[in-house]
Amino acid sequence: MGGTGDDRQRESARGDLTQGPIGRTLLVFAIPTLASNIIQSLNGSINAIWVGRFLGERALAATANANIIMFLMFSVVFGFGMAATVVVAQAMGARNLDAARRSFGSAVGFCFLLSLAVALAGWLCAPALLRLLATPAEAFEPALIYLRVIFIAMPATLIGVMVMMGLRAAGDARTPLIFMFVSVGVDIILNPVLILGLGPIPAMGIGGSAAATAAAGVISLTGLLVYIYRKDLPLRLRGAELGYLKPAADQMRILIVKGLPMGFQMIIMSMSGLVMIGLVNREGLMITAAYGAAQQLWTYLQMPAMAIGSAVSAMAAQNIGAGRWDRVSRIAGSGHVLLLAVTGVMVALMLLFDRPLLALFLGDGSPAIEQARHMQHIVTWSFLMFGCAMIFFAVMRANGVVYGPLLILVISLFGVRLGFYEATYAMIGADGLWLSFPAGSATTLLLAMALYLHGGWRRAKLLVPPNAEQCREATNAESDPAGRIRPIG
């Protein structure tokens, strides 16, 4: 059921991130992950274009409010996924395929149960959440429709995310990319059909946009599971291994002790976003619409940090599991170089072509364009600093260190960012909101660098004990010109 010893050895060698030139290995592994995230962001932007052009600024403001809530709900599960991927990656680095499957199975089973609870709570609490955000009255009803339809598909969406995270932890970035294309393709095709009611399908308005996204998630997950078993990928569960889907006590301890702080990191960023959009809503519908359009572009700037950080964390965790500490600092350095190169180019392009890009969401003649451009010029460059901090966090997360980064985010996103806004709003008005972004990002980077250099995170206990013989083998293999099987990318 689990395969022979030789089968296990061949499977565990797939997606090996512990060998070869670090820069090239990271690049090959990170590119599909980055492409997957950019495609996902592009999908969200195309959906926003459909909504903004077909349904107007009221509907676009509604999706801006609904999406920030969705990110909050997503964060509840995402932290457990990050904890599971650290264990999977360390186990793969230690050549312990059974431990990787046990962790993956427990995470997927727990995610399914948790996502059902999140979906139900989200459906029931959606009106209260929108009121808490001070959602403009004109946008409240469409935002509620959009949000509730999305919650229906929450289990399929979150399980799909969990499975893709597990595959990347095992060194396979190509398979998640394939099925991100599937999801985005279905979503793009269905959005105008369901919004406008083309052919025999009735017009559903903003609910049609949400229904298209929900259908895409279900179809993509179904195809992904079929593909995993058809290709016999390393993390597939067969026979008695299907029992791993019942969360085990030892795995739950890791998921909770490590996953909750990781999830809280996402929740802190989500809550910061909730507070910010609540403050933006007080500036009126036009500023809210401008902020919604600017957010679409900022989403792209966050994608490199998330994608490269994910790749760095998986690569560092595999090397930590294999006992290859000599490579971990070089992985961090390569991650920063790649992050600055990719995000720097994106920042330059967005500032150079800001007007036509924003017009995609707001329309050529919208008065909100100038407001959005003003936000862009103040905020955009700060994502370089925040992205670099995320790389430091990703490396430390690879060894299960989570509380320091969480504290840093609380300090920078609430203490510094909101403190800056409160101190400056009376003098400079809404610019206090936009300038709080670079103030918070600079603080995050400085504190992350200090923790990385002096925090003692390398002394944390491994989540998966390394196999001494395999560590010696990995060290000797570094001099082998043939190397090992390279990451799936």
Tell me the pLDDT tens digit for each residue of 112-129: 888 888 888 878 887 887
Using the structure block, give the residue that is written with the tokens 């760095």: 312
Give the pLDDT confidence score for residue 68 in this predicted structure: 67
Would 409 be classed as within a structural domain? yes
Give the pLDDT confidence score for residue 455 in this predicted structure: 74
Q: What is the pLDDT of residues 258-296, one digit of tens each?
A: 888 887 887 888 778 778 888 888 888 888 888 888 887
Distances in whole angstroms, Cα of residue 25 to Cα of each of 109, 307, 430, 486, 487:
31, 15, 44, 8, 7
Question: Which of the four pLDDT bands, split at 50, 70 and 90, describes residue 462?
Answer: low
Give the pLDDT confidence score for residue 475 in this predicted structure: 43
Give the pLDDT confidence score for residue 182 in this predicted structure: 92
pTM: 0.76
Give the pLDDT confidence score for residue 473 in this predicted structure: 46
Other beta carbons less than 10 A from residue 427's beta carbon: 8
Would 469 be classed as within a structural domain? no
Domain that holds residue 257: 10-461
Give the pLDDT confidence score for residue 17 in this predicted structure: 84
Give the pLDDT confidence score for residue 54 in this predicted structure: 61
* Token pair belonging to 428: 């400079």
Would 195 be classed as within a structural domain? yes
Which amino acid, residue 383? F
Mean residue pLDDT of the chain comes to 81
Question: Which of the four pLDDT bands, split at 50, 70 and 90, describes residue 389?
Answer: very high
- If one counts the domains in the chain, the total is 1
Would 378 be classed as within a structural domain? yes
Would 475 be classed as within a structural domain? no
Would 295 be classed as within a structural domain? yes
Q: What is the pLDDT of residues 292-350, one digit of tens each?
A: 888 878 878 888 888 899 889 989 999 988 888 889 999 999 999 999 999 999 999 99
Q: What is the pLDDT of residues 29-73, one digit of tens each?
A: 888 888 887 787 777 767 777 676 666 666 666 666 666 667 666
Structural contact between residues 96 and 411, judged by C-beta atoms closer than 8 angstroms: no
Give the pLDDT confidence score for residue 18 in this predicted structure: 82
Would 18 be classed as within a structural domain? yes
CA distance 210 to 185: 15
Question: Which of the four pLDDT bands, split at 50, 70 and 90, describes residue 392?
Answer: very high
Would 470 be classed as within a structural domain? no
